[in-house]
Amino acid sequence: MNKLLFLVTKILAVLVLSVFISGLSGCEETYENTGNTDVVDPTDTTDPTDPTDPTEQADPTEPAEPTDTTDPTEPTEPTDPTEPAEPTEPTEPTEPEDPCLAPDAEKINSVIIGTYNTHLFFDKVCDTGHCSSSDFESVLSDSEYNTKVKDLADSVKKIGADIILLQEVEKDSCLQDLFGKTGTYEDCFLGEKETVDTAVMTKGKITYKNKHPEQIECAGCDGGKTTFSRAFLETHIELGCRKIIVFSAHFKSKADDDAQRRLAEAAAAAKILKKRAEENPGALIVMGGDLNDEPGSDTLKSFENDSAFLRVAAELSSKDQATYYYRGDAIALDHIFLVKTDGGKYKTGSAEVVKDAPSYYSLGSSDHAALKATFEF
Mean per-residue pLDDT for 208-224? 95
Q: What is the mean pLDDT of residues 169-177?
A: 97
Q: Give the pLDDT mean for 337-353.
A: 98
What is the rounded CA–CA span in Å between residue 340 and residue 354?
25
Question: What are the angstrom distances between the C-alpha of 241 and each of 5, 10, 24, 164?
Answer: 146, 137, 119, 19
Which of these CATH numbers, 3.30.40.10, 3.30.470.20, 3.40.50.300, 3.60.10.10, describes 110-376?
A: 3.60.10.10
DSSP H helical segments within the chain, as ranges? 2-32, 142-159, 172-182, 259-279, 298-304
Structural contact between residues 372 and 162, judged by C-beta atoms closer than 8 angstroms: no
Positions of E strands within the chain:
110-121, 163-169, 187-190, 197-202, 205-210, 216-217, 225-226, 233-239, 242-250, 284-290, 309-311, 324-326, 329-331, 334-339, 345-346, 352-354, 370-376
Give Cβ neighbours of residue 247 (< 8 Å, ≥ 6 apart).
165, 232, 233, 234, 235, 269, 272, 273, 286, 287, 288, 289
Indicate the range of 54-68, 244-258, 284-298 predicted with least confidence: 54-68
CB 377 within 8 A of CB 110: yes
Convert the pLDDT of each residue in 88-142 to its tens digit: 555 555 555 788 888 888 999 999 999 999 999 999 999 888 898 888 889 899 9
**Which of 372, 373, 369, 374 is CA-nearest to residue 331?**
369
User: Looking at the whole model, is its pTM more than 0.95?
Assistant: no
Q: Where are the domains of the chain?
A: 110-376
